Amino acid sequence: MEILLTDQLAALSHPQRMAVFRLLMRRCPDELPAGEIAQVLALKPSTASVYLAALTQAGLITQRRDGTRLLYTVNLNATRAVIAGLVLDCCQGRTDLCPPHFSGILESFPPVSDQKFNVLFICTGNSARSIFAETILRDMAGDRFTAYSAGTAYRSALNPFAVEMLKSKGHDVSPLRSKNLTGFQGSDAPQMDFVFTVCDLAANEECAAWQGQPVSGHWGMPDPVKAQGTDAEKRLAFQQAYGALHNRITAFTSLPFQALDRATLQTRVDAIGKKPS
């Protein structure tokens, strides 16, 4: 049965249904259980189920059963079709009639041969995972990327186990400090080419749109700071987080940026996010 564009827009017209859809977009490519969606958005389980059913019926999200759980993820193909439908039907395929920043989204990602890409990694505290990512990228490919990291929490500090781990891997930790996301959102902040969230809590939060419409990705993984047990067990959690990020950043820096258009690059970035933690 064909789903009409008007039906999809009607499904998104309800503020809380839109909130569910936006959450799943921010967490893409993750599959979220209904209970987590309800918890993040402070909805009653029964209310969340109604909204999820409406969005599923409209084809905007998909549902998969995993044992006793129902998992939901955004339907990117349907989302692209909605946008394309608006552009083709309302703007007659002329992106110059659409908002200027939208025209830029439809263009290919424009790498320049000698360009250094700005990359920002975000987590809640900017104490471990995002610090790992910033340091790994800086030392792995600092000639091609300028790495930054930030946290959404207003007060934080570098985790001593994270610093110890980086030192043990031979990284220079002297440039590192815990930073807040607001420092990267002003008019004088560097314009980002890539923005990655490396924790689910940061991805759950609504943020203002980034200048320049950077390619974004969610590379969520468990927080080693929350590891319990002996110091050896805690160090193992930090080792696992470091290893997972090292693998993902290795895959990211190996992408043939000059040969990829924006849509393909986004797909490749999302695929990296699906790699096991």
Domain positions in the chain are 1-105, 117-273
What pLDDT was estimated at residue 112?
Answer: 47
* Helical spans, DSSP H, in 3-115: 5-12, 15-26, 34-40, 45-57, 76-90, 100-106
Q: Which DSSP state fits 223?
A: -
Whose tokens are 């969610």? That residue is 218
CA distances from 124 to 163, 204, 275 (A): 17, 10, 21
Tell me what pLDDT residue 148 has.
Answer: 96
Candidates 3.60.15.10, 3.40.50.2300, 3.30.930.10, 3.30.300.10; CATH matching 117-273? 3.40.50.2300
Closest to 55 in 3D by CA, of 41, 37, 72: 72
Token readout for 22 is 């936006």
277 residues of the chain, pLDDT tens digit each: 678 889 999 999 999 999 999 999 888 888 999 999 999 899 999 999 999 999 999 999 999 999 999 999 999 889 888 877 776 665 555 555 555 545 444 444 554 446 789 999 999 889 999 999 999 999 999 999 999 999 988 767 899 999 999 999 999 999 999 999 988 888 788 889 999 999 877 666 666 567 767 888 889 888 999 999 999 999 999 999 999 999 999 999 999 988 888 878 888 998 898 776 6
What is the identity of the amino acid at 271?
A
One-letter amino acid for residue 57 of the chain: Q
Contact assessment for residue 157 and residue 127, using Cβ atoms and an 8 Å cutoff: yes
State both tokens at 119.
């990359």
Cα of first residue to Cα of last residue in the chain, in angstroms, is 38
Each as own residue / partner, the long-range contacts of residues 111-117 (CB below 8 Å, 24 or more positions apart, any chain) are 111/257, 111/258, 113/258, 116/143, 116/144, 116/145, 116/146, 117/144, 117/145, 117/146, 117/193, 117/194, 117/257
Host H or E run for residue 215: strand 215-218
CATH 3.20.20.140 matches 1-105 = no
180, with CB counted inside 10 A (0-12, 13-18, 19+), is: middle
Q: How far, in Å, CA of 117 to CA of 144, rounded?
A: 6
Helices (H), ranges, 169-261: 200-204, 231-253
State how far the Cα of 151 lies from the Cα of 133, in Å rounded to an integer.
13
Say what the pTM is. 0.71
pLDDT, residue 172, reads 95
Residue 11 in contact with residue 60, Cβ under 8 Å?
Answer: yes
Supply the pLDDT for residue 87.
67
How far apart CA 276 and CA 195 sit, in angstroms, is 20
Residue among 28, 57, 23 nearest 39 (CA): 23
pLDDT score of 85 = 77
Cβ atoms of residues 111 and 205 within 8 Å: no
